[in-house]
């Protein structure tokens, strides 16, 4: 091979690598838009319920002139208003384009915001959510992207428990590795061992298609989750046993403290692919 041929081949490889990165970014954005679309119906119904509470208690307050009844109505209206604010804040935070900026992020708040968005859906499908919030340091993360991962994993968990069940979310800190761990554990149907090695591959899905809510089945959700976590210099691991459930563990580096005791702010590296992470069975 001549030097000219080698240079030409290297140029082609470099161009292909750039095109792959562009496609991965487009895939990530497509998954984000899909997740946003899937939440529209859920949040619209929930927001409508909040508005009905405000209207009904306002009418009750207008009908009754005693101070106690009116005060009770004001308290209910205020509570509904606070819930409406949480819903809109969660949706706007997810819709906001934060780019690839990484900053110290309170993952507990990300979990709380996501639970607000999915509360109605979890209640509808009889999913009991157990959030075990240990005292963990801030993670160096992009909050928007982490929420995208969490939404995807929680929706997958809900779909794995068609008859209802228990979903465990757990935050913990691995001081030895300086990593914040987020566990998403369902007690659903589980994933067959022969399918586990492929679940993070783009366009591979264990489902036959979208469910009755229009969610899932595209095969891009877990691939995007993997790319997001790896872009955070983190790891994602899946453990599953058929008939017992599936557990996803996301590991993200904790934010470093500079000499002044303040967390350093960095920027995420470009989203890229990576090798499949090890899998093993869920242990009780």
| Whole-angstrom distance, CA of residue 7 vs CA of residue 33 | 39
Given a contact cutoff of 8 angstroms between Cβ atoms, the answer to whether 282 and 238 are in contact is no
- Nearest CA to 270 out of 228, 222, 223 is that of 228
State the architecture of 1-284 in CATH terms: 2-Layer Sandwich (3.30)
The pLDDT, as a whole number, for residue 282 is 38
- Nearest CA to 149 out of 121, 175, 109, 111 is that of 111
Beta-strand ranges (E) seen in the chain are 101-105, 127-133, 139-141, 165-174, 179-186, 235-241, 245-253, 266-267, 279-280
The pLDDT, as a whole number, for residue 27 is 63
Tell me the longest C-alpha to C-alpha distance in the chain.
94
Reported as half-sphere exposure (CB side, CA atoms, 13 A), residue 207 has a value of 20
**DSSP one-letter code for 254:** B
The pLDDT, as a whole number, for residue 147 is 87
The structure tokens 């590991």 sit at 251
| Whole-angstrom distance, CA of residue 128 vs CA of residue 153 | 15
Q: pTM for this one?
A: 0.65
| Whole-angstrom distance, CA of residue 90 vs CA of residue 96 | 10
The structure tokens 């090798």 sit at 275
Torsion of CA 154, 158, 161, 163, to 10 degrees: 150
The pLDDT, as a whole number, for residue 177 is 92
Reported as half-sphere exposure (CB side, CA atoms, 13 A), residue 194 has a value of 0
The structure tokens 């899937």 sit at 38
The pLDDT, as a whole number, for residue 51 is 87
Query: Residue 49: CB partners within 8 Å, gap ≥ 6?
Result: 120
The pLDDT, as a whole number, for residue 274 is 32
SS (H, E, C) 165-215: EEEEEEEEEECCCCEEEEEEEECCCCCCCCCHHHCCCCCCCCCCCCCCCCC
Low-confidence ranges of the chain (pLDDT < 50): 204, 209, 214-215, 217-219, 258-284
The pLDDT, as a whole number, for residue 224 is 80
pLDDT, tens digit, for every residue of 17-49? 777 767 766 666 666 666 666 666 667 767 777
The pLDDT, as a whole number, for residue 6 is 67
Phi, psi of 263, deg, nearest 5: -65, 135
Six token digits for residue 24 = 């991965």
Residues in the chain: 284
Angle at Cα 91 formed by Cα 263 and Cα 220, nearest 5°? 85
């Amino acid at each position: 091979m001549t030097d000219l041929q080698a240079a030409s081949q290297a140029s082609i490889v470099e161009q292909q690598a750039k095109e792959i990165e562009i496609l991965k970014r487009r895939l990530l954005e497509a998954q984000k838009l899909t997740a946003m679309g899937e939440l529209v119906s859920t949040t619209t119904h929930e927001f409508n319920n909040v508005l009905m509470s405000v209207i009904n208690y306002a009418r009750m307050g207008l009908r009754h002139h005693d101070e106690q009844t009116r005060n009770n109505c004001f308290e209910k209206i205020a509570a509904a208003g606070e819930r409406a604010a949480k819903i809109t804040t969660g949706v706007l935070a997810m819709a906001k384009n934060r780019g690839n900026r990484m900053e110290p992020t309170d993952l507990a708040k990300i979990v709380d915001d996501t639970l607000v968005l999915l509360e109605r859906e979890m209640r509808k499908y009889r999913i009991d959510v157990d959030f075990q919030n240990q005292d963990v340091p801030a993670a160096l993360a992009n909050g928007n992207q982490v929420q995208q991962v969490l939404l995807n994993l929680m929706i997958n968990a809900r779909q794995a428990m068609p008859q209802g069940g228990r979903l465990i979310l757990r935050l913990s800190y691995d001081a030895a590795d300086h990593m914040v761990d987020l566990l998403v554990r369902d007690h659903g149907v589980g994933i067959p061992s022969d399918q586990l090695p492929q679940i993070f591959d783009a366009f591979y899905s264990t489902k036959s298609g979208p469910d009755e809510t229009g969610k899932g089945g595209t095969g891009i959700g877990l691939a995007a989750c993997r790319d997001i976590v790896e872009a955070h210099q983190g790891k994602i691991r899946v453990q599953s046993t058929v008939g017992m459930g599936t557990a996803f563990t996301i590991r993200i580096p904790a934010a470093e403290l500079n000499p002044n005791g303040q967390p350093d702010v960095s920027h995420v590296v470009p989203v890229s692919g990576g090798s499949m992470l090890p899998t093993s069975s869920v242990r009780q």
